C-alpha cells in the first residue's frame, strides 16, 4: 500500500492500550478513539492470536499524513541463514506448510543464501526464539519519535502503523453502516501493515530507477524473499530481482501458488519499480473487489468492508506460517505421507547447520 519505511515524526502523547498477556497487542495514540482501540485489541488481535501460537508483537497505532497507511519498523535485524533455518527446523508443531517450506529451503535456497544472512523483523526474531542471535541486537522502534530501542523493553515497539488522517478515508467495521465508494476498510488496511511488521515484507526496493536490494549486505533476502518463485524450482533471487510479471509466493518450491484471493483465484506479487511493495500483491483491478486480499498493494474503495486475514483466502496466514509463525495445534494438520520425506530433509538441514557453525 505504498509503504514508506523511512522515519517520521509525530508529537502526540502515548495512550497505553496494550494488553499484558502476550499475543498481538496495539497501543493507541490519543487520536485513535477508545472504541477503535478496543476493537483492535479484541477482534483484530484475536484473529492473529487465535491463529498463531507464537505471534507476540507490540504495535503503536496513530493517524498521520501518509498515502493510505504505512508501517515502520525502522531498523534491519539480521540473523545468519543457518540460524534462521535451524530455528524453523526446531519447531515441534509443524504444519504441512512448515514441512514443505523446510524442504524447499534445502533444495533451492541453501546454495544462493546459505553462507549469508536473512533480514527479519524484531517480531519474527522473538517468535523464533533467536532474538539473542540477531546481529547487532534485536532492535525495535519507539513510538512516534522513531528512535531505536531494544525489542521487548518498556516503550519499545516492534513497529509503528500510521493510518491516513485525510477526512472520510475510512470505513470502520465496528461502527456498521455502509462503506461509501471513496472509503477503505480501516482494519483491513491496518492488518496489511501488521503483517509487514510480523514479517511479510521484502528487502527489494521499488522506489528507484530500477529494482534493488535495500537491506544491508550483499543481496540479502528477507524471510519472505526466500519463498518467491517464477515457476516450479525457479527461485527469484535478491541478487537479480525480476520485473517479469507472474512472481508468486510458494512454500513448496514453486509447485503451488500459496496465495489466493477472496474469489479463489491466484494472487501474484508486484514486480515493478512503481513504489508498491515488492511483497504486495497486484490488485485485481479494475474489478479489484472480486479477488482482493489484505496484502494487495492497492486497496478497494467501497468494496473491502470486513475483509481480513481469516476470510480473504488465507494467503497472509500461509506466508507468516512459512517464515516462522506456528499455527495453533488445531490448525497445524500434517499431510499424510510427508513425514518420511521431511525427515530426510531435516537430516540434510541438520548437516548444513552443523557445517555452518
Distances in Å between the Cα of 354 and the Cα atoms of 52, 83, 92, 221, 347 are: 29, 10, 19, 22, 11
The pLDDT assigned to 145 comes to: 78
DSSP at 108:
I
What percentage of the chain exceeds 90 in pLDDT? Answer: 78
Q: What is the mean pLDDT of the chain?
A: 88
What percentage of the chain exceeds 70 in pLDDT? Answer: 87
Confidence of residue 75 (pLDDT cuts 50, 70, 90): confident
- The Cα–Cα gap between 296 and 277 comes to 9
- The Cα–Cα gap between 308 and 289 comes to 13
Distances in Å between the Cα of 71 and the Cα atoms of 8, 268, 281 are: 11, 21, 16
Give the three cell numbers for residue 310. 481469516
- The Cα–Cα gap between 293 and 282 comes to 10
Give the three cell numbers for residue 197. 511488521
The per-residue pLDDT for range 6-37, each reduced to its tens digit, is 322 233 333 333 333 469 999 999 999 999 99
354: pLDDT strictly greater than 50: no
344: pLDDT strictly greater than 90: no
Mean pLDDT of 40-52: 97
| Burial of 94 (C-beta count, 10 Å sphere; 0-12/13-18/19+) | buried
The pLDDT assigned to 333 comes to: 58
Map residue 140 onto helix, strand or coil.
strand
The mean-pLDDT minimum among 65-74, 158-167, 230-239 falls in 65-74
- The Cα–Cα gap between 343 and 14 comes to 49
128 alpha-carbon distance from chain centroid? 14
55: pLDDT strictly greater than 90: yes
93 alpha-carbon distance from chain centroid? 21
- The Cα–Cα gap between 26 and 59 comes to 5
Q: Are 253 and 99 in contact (CB under 8 A)?
A: no
- The Cα–Cα gap between 123 and 139 comes to 10
The per-residue pLDDT for range 268-295, each reduced to its tens digit, is 999 999 999 999 999 887 778 899 999 9
The per-residue pLDDT for range 162-191, each reduced to its tens digit, is 999 999 999 999 999 999 999 999 999 999
The pLDDT assigned to 330 comes to: 66
Distances in Å between the Cα of 39 and the Cα atoms of 49, 116, 294, 303 are: 14, 41, 18, 21
Query: At which residue does the C-alpha cell 483491513 appear?
Result: 188
The pLDDT assigned to 331 comes to: 75
Q: Are 44 and 61 in contact (CB under 8 A)?
A: no
The pLDDT assigned to 199 comes to: 97
The pLDDT assigned to 349 comes to: 47
The pLDDT assigned to 74 comes to: 72
Residues contacting 226, CB < 8 A, separation 6+: 105, 109, 113, 118, 323
Domain ranges of the chain: 24-75+137-200, 77-136+203-356
Taking the CA atoms of residue 46, residue 60, residue 262 and residue 66 in that order, the dihedral angle to the nearest 10 degrees is: 160
Confidence of residue 338 (pLDDT cuts 50, 70, 90): very low
Q: Are 181 and 175 in contact (CB under 8 A)?
A: no
Regarding pTM above 0.75, the answer is yes
Amino acid at each position: 500500500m505504498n509503504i514508506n519505511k523511512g522515519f517520521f515524526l509525530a508529537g502526540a502523547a502515548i495512550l497505553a492500550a496494550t494488553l499484558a498477556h502476550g499475543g498481538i497487542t496495539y497501543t493507541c495514540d490519543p487520536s485513535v478513539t477508545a472504541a477503535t482501540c478496543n476493537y483492535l485489541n479484541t477482534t483484530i488481535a484475536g484473529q492473529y492470536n487465535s491463529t498463531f501460537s507464537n505471534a507476540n508483537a507490540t504495535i503503536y497505532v496513530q493517524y498521520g499524513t501518509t498515502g493510505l497507511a504505512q508501517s515502520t519498523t525502522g531498523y534491519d535485524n539480521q540473523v545468519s541463514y543457518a540460524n534462521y533455518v535451524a530455528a524453523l527446523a526446531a519447531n515441534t508443531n509443524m504444519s504441512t506448510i512448515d514441512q514443505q517450506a523446510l524442504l524447499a529451503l534445502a533444495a533451492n535456497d541453501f546454495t544462493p543464501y546459505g553462507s549469508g544472512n536473512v533480514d527479519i523483523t524484531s517480531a519474527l526474531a522473538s517468535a523464533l526464539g533467536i532474538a539473542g542471535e540477531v546481529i547487532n541486537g534485536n532492535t525495535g522502534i519507539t513510538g512516534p519519535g522513531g528512535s531505536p530501542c531494544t525489542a521487548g523493553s518498556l516503550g519499545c515497539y516492534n513497529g509503528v502503523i500510521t493510518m491516513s488522517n485525510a477526512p472520510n478515508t475510512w470505513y470502520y467495521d465496528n461502527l456498521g453502516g455502509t462503506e461509501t465508494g471513496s472509503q477503505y476498510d480501516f482494519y483491513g488496511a491496518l492488518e496489511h501493515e501488521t503483517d509487514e511488521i510480523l514479517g511479510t515484507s521484502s528487502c527489494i526496493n521499488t522506489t528507484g530507477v530500477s529494482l534493488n536490494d535495500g537491506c544491508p549486505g550483499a543481496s540479502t533476502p528477507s524471510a519472505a524473499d526466500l519463498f518467491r518463485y517464477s515457476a516450479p524450482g525457479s527461485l527469484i533471487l535478491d541478487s537479480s530481482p525480476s520485473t517479469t510479471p507472474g512472481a508468486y509466493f510458494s512454500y513448496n518450491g514453486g509447485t503451488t501458488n500459496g496465495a489466493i484471493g477472496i474469489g479463489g483465484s491466484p494472487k501474484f506479487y508486484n514486480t515493478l519499480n512503481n513504489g508498491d511493495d515488492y511483497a504486495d500483491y497486484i490488485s485485481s483491478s479494475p474489478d479489484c473487489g472480486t479477488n482482493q486480499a489484505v496484502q494487495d498493494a492497492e486497496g478497494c474503495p467501497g468494496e473491502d468492508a470486513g475483509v481480513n486475514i481469516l476470510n480473504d483466502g488465507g494467503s497472509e496466514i500461509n506466508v507468516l506460517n512459512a517464515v516462522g509463525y506456528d499455527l495453533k495445534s488445531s490448525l497445524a494438520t500434517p499431510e499424510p505421507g510427508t513425514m518420511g520425506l521431511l525427515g530426510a530433509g531435516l537430516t540434510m538441514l541438520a548437516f548444513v547447520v552443523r557445517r555452518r557453525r
